[in-house]
Amino acid sequence: MSTCSLSAATASRAEGENGRLNLPIVFILAVNVPIAGLALMRLLFGMPLLFGPVHIAFLEMVIDPVCALVFEAEREEVGVMQRPPRPADEPLFSWPTVVWSLLQGCMVLGIAGSAALFAPGYGLDPDQVRGLAFATLVLGVVALILIDRSNSNTILSALLRPNRALAVVLPIVASLLAVTLFWAPARDLFRFGVLEGLWLAVPPLAGIGVLLALEALKPLWRMVLSAREPAARPAVKAEPA
């Protein structure tokens, strides 16, 4: 097999259900759950409006580069050519993919929604609640980026695996989030209140909690994917002429 053919076969095998094609699908489905859920919380609980167009634009500035650059820059995982090929009739959105995405999204919705729902009881005004919920959501999305980089590797091995796009995107996201929280003109634009003391620790701790919880659940996800992989078919020997 030529080098070009081998590279093409490897790239094709890497686009399977637990390959690169699946990474942005899982992420996109997951990240829209907390965005939609937080919007619905206003109707369900009579809360003030949390996010406006500027907040959604910020989130899109995170989501779009991640899907277009970060996941595309991921390398093929070890052992990709040992996996059986993806069946031609297999749907793109399989039920394990949807369930895994919903689980991720609901976990981020849970932490961001809890921050928005319970923070007023501790004396935070609506603008402070908005800033707290938004920062928690953004760092929850960062946790999803890290967890969805790989379906088979641990978070530690994924973090140690180089990805130049990720190394550029994450510092930009962190810097922009810090600007919106600490620089008064940007804070006013986003209608955030000043967060002080322990409240500043809530978003990063929440993001770390989501990351560790999903990492603990990832072996179960891998078991489901492995059970769905079709058994490799034995090669058919050519009959002698």
- Residues 31-57 pLDDT 10s: 999 999 998 988 888 888 889 999 999
**Is 237 within the bounds of a domain?**
no
Are 165 and 65 spatial neighbours (Cβ–Cβ below 8 Å)? yes
Q: Which two tokens stand for residue 240?
A: 């002698």
Look up residue 146 and give its amino acid: L
Is the model's pLDDT at 136 over the cut of 90? yes
- How far is residue 116's CA from residue 130's CA, in Å, rounded to a whole number? 7
* Residues 179, 186: Cα–Cα separation, whole Å: 7
Query: What DSSP element (H or E) covers 53?
Result: helix 53-65
- Largest Cα–Cα separation, the chain: 85
Residue 9 counted as domain residue:
no
- The domain of 202 spans 14-77+90-228
| Spatial separation of the C-alpha atoms in residues 70 and 116, rounded to whole Å | 30
pLDDT exceeds 80 at position 135: yes
Measure the CA–CA gap between 107 and 33, rounded to whole angstroms: 9
The rounded distance, in Å, linking the Cα atoms of 214 and 8 is: 32
Instruction: Specify if 82 maps to a domain.
Output: no
How far apart CA 32 and CA 167 sit, in angstroms, is: 23
* 240 falls within a domain: no
Q: Is residue 84 part of a domain?
A: no
Distance in angstroms (rounded) separating the CA atoms of residues 23 and 177? 24
Residue 80 has pLDDT above 90, yes or no: no
pLDDT of residue 238: 45
Give residue 184's pLDDT: 95
What domain count does the chain have?
1
pLDDT at residue 91, as a whole number: 62
Is 2 contained in some domain?
Answer: no
Residue 206 sits in a domain whose CATH number is 1.20.1110.10
Q: Is the pLDDT of residue 201 over 70?
A: yes
Q: Is the confidence at residue 239, as pLDDT, over 70?
A: no
Given a cut of 90, whether residue 4 has pLDDT beyond it is no
